[in-house]
Structure 1
């Protein structure tokens, strides 16, 4: 409201989290996006006029914190690394971790390290269920990420939600990056952040990711980018100066793509992540919804109840199934 009331000056919005929901389409005169996905989202779904939108990719501020070490042995191991808040990797039925498990099967000397925080119950259960206690390590939030990146061998960008700054940090450290971007998840497309090189490529399936990783892993030496692909602080300042003078020098990055399907996919993944892995959501549902209300509106709860009834009382199972199919529940 304060921003809306300001008059007599030009108002700039930096859309740093371009996938997020926010109010106030009309409170800004210039909207600065960091990639074309955000630009398309703003034009197609937020209805911000095209002439208001500019593009300026950001650069990572690399931590100067000294390496804090690991509390497990990495001698003789090849390290796959990734990191984010946990919600970014909990959707799509834990596809991210299933893919990591398949990568670890390629070589017994491969280990996986994940930095981040959140509700890790599902991750811990996955590690235990797949007997990965000695090959899959959660190290929590770390402030020495750049130093960690220098000591790992491969970086896997998170999915179903990507981590842009983490990926940039991995590239800055000269590490090979594997970035999976489903055609319906353009919110994971980070190529605009690396517009200075054609060498940064997206991978369009987890099967292809595993195949590409295997090929790189078999090589004795890993080829790094032939040039620095990230915008420099100086170039960032120059482009920002131009934007403040009503120019848009990186307009060529604004490739037009339909983003509605990606928008729907993002929403579905967020709902899945919240419904299945957020303890606060589960607590709220248990407090405010009756047994039958949960049964009617929450598919996962209904599935659990069916399994329980089938084991304990098959006649009641059949009755319940009948009532649901005939819409009497």
Structure 2
């Protein structure tokens, strides 16, 4: 399969469908096509924005959303309202908890908005925010895009916030349509959570906040975001007292730990991440290996077969920080690193061993170059790991270098206030230099498949597109049925 040709075949057809139905004022089908195109572009990830899609969303915004509240209304009210639009609606993943807590700690009235499907499923967030002044709002996100837009419009109209955060998926057409229309009505901040990949919403913010040099490079040089619309602020880390659930082996064992979606360990032909683990397990017989996450586990299973009783794969765990504190060394994923896990490792005082992949991981930790966590080659990395695992004093000295490597809670709370009041932070990017993203793109292309196209387009929410792509819908349904049958057989 020519992956590029296959991508553009579907992508351009989706754009054509979207244009056609905007002209016919059938905005629901247009939104389905745009959402599908954006999702496919996110998985393909050979470019970072598309003005064709953004202009189509502007047209829909102008036709569908009409607000009456204004900044003048906000300015005479007194205490500021901050609306946090969370298109994910997850509980413990990401930075939603620390951001919303910081907003509340600064004395703002918080309106937290998330999908109806998340209602009652965010116990940790609810517990953290229960002592603050928070209004919880929900919108329907499983059926019509237009219905989501209408409900979000009502929330904004009724609450009339002064400041609004957009924290959402790369293909959230409903959120983008509404935020496009909020210009000059409230100040809008996009949280660039997916800074390495395609996302929608280039017109939906007044400032775009990232956390590392790669964010700045792609925002400015590849997405075309002006420098005066870019802010920088890393989140502090949320750690609660969730009960430790134990390990699938003796707690006194020395072990390597990694976590995150397993796709981050795939995409390079040599499977370098798994070569690292294999090297360590082969040379250090007392070391075990634990991975917490979901996804394609084919390479992990190979290690399980080679090292029986020493390799363990578990799902995502709420007590992962407790696991982190007990591990010997944290091994960062490769070719895609995990920035949040990297910070948690540093906070736990565990070295996040990181094989450099161009400049992707630069600037994740404060003064990162002083922490001695990155390696330019496989050989240098494994040589140092040998020493770290063989010399306890050397390991302790290296762990001391991690002190102060992550943003403190007080610093983060202070900077959230500066962002809301002054639309900037205490942190800057400095000189923005071009980063070579070609290797990253090649690895995304290596993983990209026909199934990615099918998964992006064929969803319940995009059901009106079946007439345009009957073969794709049939393929996706068939694959789903096959997986269900296999799953049932595995449990018999």
Return the TM-score normalized by structure 1.
0.76
* 1:30 pairs with 2:207: yes
Alignment of 1:189-200 (within 5 A): 189=362, 191-195=363-367, 198-200=370-372
- In structure 1, the partner of 2:388 is 216
Give the counterpart of 1:204 among 376, 391, 406. Answer: 376
Greater CA drift, 81-90 or 197-206? 197-206
Question: Runs ≥4 in structure 1, deviation > 6 angstroms?
Answer: 276-281
Task: Confirm whether residue 90 of structure 1 aligns to residue 263 of structure 2.
Answer: no
Verify: 1:80 aligned to 2:264, yes or no.
no
The 1:196/1:104 distance shift into structure 2, 3 A limit, reads closer
Note if contact 2:274-2:299 (Cα within 8 Å) is conserved in structure 1: no
Q: 1:10 aligns with which of 187, 206, 210?
A: 187
How far apart are 1:78 and its partner, in Å? 1.8
Contact 1:63 1:146 in 2 (8 A): no
Pairing of 1:97-246 with structure 2 (within 5 A): 97-128=274-305, 131-183=306-358, 186-189=359-362, 191-195=363-367, 198-221=370-393, 222-223=396-397, 224-226=399-401, 227-244=403-420, 245-246=422-423
Q: Matched residue of 2:360: which SS?
A: helix
What is the CA–CA distance in structure 2 between the aligned matches of 1:52 and 1:89, rounded to whole Å? 33
Partner Cα distance (1:166, 1:58) in 2: 12
Q: Do the aligned partners of 1:55 and 1:254 also contact (CA within 8 Å) in 2?
A: no
Map of 2:444 onto structure 1 = 270
Deviations 1:56-101 (A, max 9, x none): 11122124221111233454x3211111111111221322111110
Distance in 1 (alpha carbons) for counterparts of 2:334 and 2:246:
26
CA distance in 2, matches of 1:98, 1:255: 36
Contact 1:182 1:205 (C-alpha < 8 Å) held by counterparts: no
- Cα drift, residue 198 of structure 1: 2.4
- 2: CA distance between counterparts of 1:196 and 1:110? 27
Structure 1 unaligned spans of 5+: 289-329
Paired with 2:292 and 2:431, the residues of 1 have a C-alpha distance of 33
Which SS does the other structure have where 2:283 is aligned?
Answer: coil
RMSD (Å) for aligned C-alpha atoms: 2.5
Residue 47 of structure 1 aligns to a residue whose secondary structure is: coil
CA distance 1:201–1:107, change in 2 (3 Å): closer
* Match in the other structure for 1:322: none
Work out the CA distance in 2 between the residues paired with 1:48 and 1:157. 30
Greater alpha carbon shift after TM alignment, 272-281 vs 213-222? 272-281
